[in-house]
Amino acid sequence: MVACLLTGGLLSAGISAPVDAAVIHPPLESAVSTSSGSWVILPMGDLSDQDNTFWQLFHAAPGSPHWSLVTPPGVADNGGLAAGASAGSILVGVLPSMLLRFSPFSTSTAGGTSWGPIFLPSGLAPLPDALAYQGAPPGGAIAVVGGGARALAAPANLSAWSPLVSAADLSRVSPGCGVTTLDAVAILPTGTPLVGTGCRRGGSVGFFTRTAGSWQPSGFVLGGSLRRSATDVLRLAVTGSTTAALVSASRAGHQALVALWQTGGAPWTASRPLTLTSGTSVLSTAVSSSGAFAVLTGNRGRRVAVEIAARGPWTQLPGPPSRTAALAMPAGPETIDSVPVDAFTVDGGSLGVFALSPSGQGWSRVQSSQVPLAYGSSG
């Protein structure tokens, strides 16, 4: 791919420049791809009014340029959605909002064309990877609840949920991390749960796995200028034998993004840090079926899109279309040096989908859709 290198301005490699950005919170606008399909979550409607903000789920089959609206029906989703996807299946949870105090779940093995209800006796945390789902054996699911205070687990049939671990439990396991909250969850191919947490100090990145009923730290320590930073896990995904994570690191007004990968039991490898300049927020994140990441950031009305292939460098993409709300990395053929990227624009109920050209030089509109929204139905 031919693309702009990150040479300063809004984004740059390293963390040497002073930055005054606020703490990064993982946006619910997010996408994930598996070998069997891609999913993107974004808000539509009047985004200044929660009563008239409607979160939507879209799906695309591998290699298809078309995204279909597949939002689970029957529940007011003004508070947001979170999804856990695995090959051939997906579990979607509705976040509590207004009078909704728990999180209705729905599962699909048909690309979102049909859904089955699941009961969760708690409220899902507002995190893009608050859900992990493994549809194939050994199977099961994990949900982060209580605002990130604890996680619940369910067996393969999702018939019941039981306590898995809490932030307090993991804080005792790794005092050096200074666990804050549970940030993200995933399930390894063996069925072993993997939990990502925030860490207060030391540049520690909080990853924990459970072996023989006991939780063990399996994290990573950032070096260089990030060695004393606090960290948060923005995204956590397992694709085949590779685990991929997107981490924010902050210290004394400085903030940066770091991508991490681990294959099997090998040590973690880290990308170079990507600095966010003053006033910049992370607006959307996407993870591909190969462990690549795309990130949309915003700064004073300007939006910037970047991507990083597994174990590759950060690359700035052409300026995204106006009103871009989210990015996705759709499942499909990848070239030697690039992963497909789509940008989604939102204007009320109007959705536009733009694909990045194979050369990486620009965006072309590939879809325009009008989503019916029931304004006033949630008041």
- Write the CATH number for 66: 2.120.10.30
- For the chain, list residues with pLDDT below 70: 1-24, 300, 333-338, 378-379
Whether 375 is in a domain gets the answer: no
pTM above 0.75, yes or no: yes
Mind listing the pLDDT tens digit for each residue in 58-74?
999 998 999 999 999 98
pLDDT at 10: 44
Q: What is the DSSP letter of 130?
A: S
Whether 265 is in a domain gets the answer: yes
pLDDT at 378: 66
Whether 164 is in a domain gets the answer: yes
pLDDT at 138: 92
Whether 199 is in a domain gets the answer: yes
How many structural domains does the chain have? 1
Residues written for the chain: 379
Whether 219 is in a domain gets the answer: yes
Whether 14 is in a domain gets the answer: yes
pLDDT at 252: 82
pLDDT at 200: 95
Domain containing 327 equals 7-370
Q: Which of 272, 305, 317, 280 is nearest to 15 (CA)?
A: 272
Percent of the chain that is helix, strand, coil (3-state, to 5): 5, 50, 45
pLDDT at 196: 98
Whether 166 is in a domain gets the answer: yes
Whether 378 is in a domain gets the answer: no
Give buried/exposed letters for 164-203 (b at 16+ CB in 10 A, else e). bbbbebbbebbeebbbbbbbbbbbeeeeebbbbbbbeebb
pLDDT at 355: 96
